[in-house]
Amino acid sequence: MTPPDEPPGRLRSRPARFAARTGLNGLVGLSGLSGPQYFLLAGSFLIPLGSFAVLPFMSVLLHEQLGMGLGAVGVVLAIASFVQFAGGVVGAVVAERIGLQRTMLLALLVRTAGFAGFVPGLGHPAAAVTALFLVSCGAALYLPANKAYLVHGVADEERPLLLSASGSALNAGIALGPLAAAPFVLSASAGLFTAVAVLFAAITVGHALLPVEAPDHHPDREGVEAQHPPRQRQKPFAGLPVLPFAVTVLSVYVFMFFQHYLAVYAVPRTSTEFYGLVLALYAVLLVVAQPLLSDRIARMPYTRALRLGFTALAAGMGTLTLGHPAALLAGALFICLGEIVLFLKNDLEALARSPRAPAVVFGHQRLAAGLGAFASGIAGGAGYGLAERSGYPGLFWAAVAVQCALLPPILIHALRRLRPGSVTGH
């Protein structure tokens, strides 16, 4: 929508038209953020930087340093991951009751205690597992409240940029965390865990200084609020937008095959250095492209976004079947495009379709992601093992590509038959 003080349509200046076409309007919009929003975006980088300095190496810590069997390690990591995702529903309920800023503060206190608990956990498996679950519980509490606070009180058209910028910062932290920690994780574990705990303590202090959010009013939803007063909408799954929830489950389900099994497929065919290069280029594309494309993704009809996103995933998975280094890189970049489109669009569509507070919506989306990741973990191990035993591991990626192509229309058709109203909309 053109602001009143700008000439409409074709009368806009050439730089303005260029910015709108290229997505630079979004980047320019970052210059007008509030202090708390800048702080949260910085936190969106620092929190995963600290977390992923530790969490990717948990299997090594639990198995090699603490002597836990691989079966037990797998169970611990699977449960911790599920708690971190599915616990978002609990985090959303807590945020509704005590507020967004207080929930983030509580979550960071729990996570700081968890990272500090890894220090005594270096000699005691039970302490290490307890620390891991504290970290997972803290993440479950934090993420829905964090996203909701970031978009609290902003216009709908500003949400895509804020969410995509937060996602870019998060992915940058995820990419750099393991690289920064790799030299220290085995040789100086206690120092690494102490440094991460101190980082989280500092971030916690910063969150304590954030203002408590004001009541959020939605004039366009006053009719809904009148029919469903807040105290009557406390059931966790009331107002669940079925289609974005189901599509998020499916999106994460197919994406996590790539996340979990690319390393075991790519490294024997290339090298650890080339695999690291692929991950670095993937992260750079994700960090740079997501804010640039956020406005276009927001304006794109949902059905078109689904076609584009799942087509990119299918193309990427299919390209991986070739096993050549260039094919691995090209496939990863296709999959990155699918992730950018689907993950952002599903969150925006869930916000648009739900009458609930943003924290509850993001909690639902975290639960959907947890269900998808859990199903992918169950199916992926057996599926990749079967393909590897057959002598043609590329068949695994072919099977995933087929799922990317066939499952979305099957899901939408099933929802249309079971819940006709859930599939309506643009």
Domain positions in the chain: 33-216, 236-426
Handedness of CA 241, 374, 57, 88 (dihedral sign): positive
pLDDT of the residue at 263: 76
Alpha-carbon distance of 169 to 14, in angstroms, equals 30
Alpha-carbon distance of 269 to 424, in angstroms, equals 45
pLDDT of the residue at 224: 41
pLDDT of the residue at 30: 62
Domain formed by 236-426, architecture: Up-down Bundle (1.20)
Q: pTM of the prediction?
A: 0.71
- The CATH number of the structural domain formed by 33-216 is 1.20.1250.20
Do the domains 236-426 and 33-216 match in fold? yes
AA letter at 228: H
Computed on alpha carbons and rounded to an integer, the radius of gyration of the chain in Å comes to 22
The three-state secondary structure class of 343 is helix
Length of the chain: 426
Residue pair 248/366 in contact (Cβ under 8 Å)? The answer is: no
Per-residue pLDDT of the chain (426 residues; tens, 9 = 90+): 333 333 333 333 333 343 444 444 544 456 677 888 899 999 999 998 888 888 767 766 787 777 877 577 767 877 887 888 878 888 888 988 899 999 999 999 999 999 999 988 888 888 989 999 999 999 989 988 998 898 888 888 888 888 888 888 888 888 788 777 777 776 788 888 999 999 999 999 999 999 988 765 444 444 444 444 444 545 777 778 899 999 999 999 999 888 778 877 887 888 867 877 887 788 888 888 888 898 899 999 999 999 999 999 999 999 999 999 999 999 999 999 999 999 999 999 999 998 888 888 888 898 898 888 878 877 887 788 888 888 898 999 999 999 999 999 999 999 988 866 555 544
Which secondary structure element, helix H or strand E, spans residue 256, and what is its range?
A: helix 242-266
pLDDT of the residue at 168: 84
Our CA angle for 45, 49, 50, nearest 5°, is: 125
pLDDT of the residue at 287: 83
Alpha-carbon distance of 366 to 424, in angstroms, equals 23
What burial letters (b/e) apply to 116-132, b meaning 16+ CB within 10 Å? Answer: bbbbebeeebebbbbbb
Alpha-carbon distance of 366 to 372, in angstroms, equals 10
pLDDT of the residue at 276: 73
The pair of three-digit structure tokens given for residue 371, joined into one six-digit string:
């269900």
Alpha-carbon distance of 80 to 292, in angstroms, equals 34
Per-residue DSSP letter, 124: -
Alpha-carbon distance of 229 to 227, in angstroms, equals 6
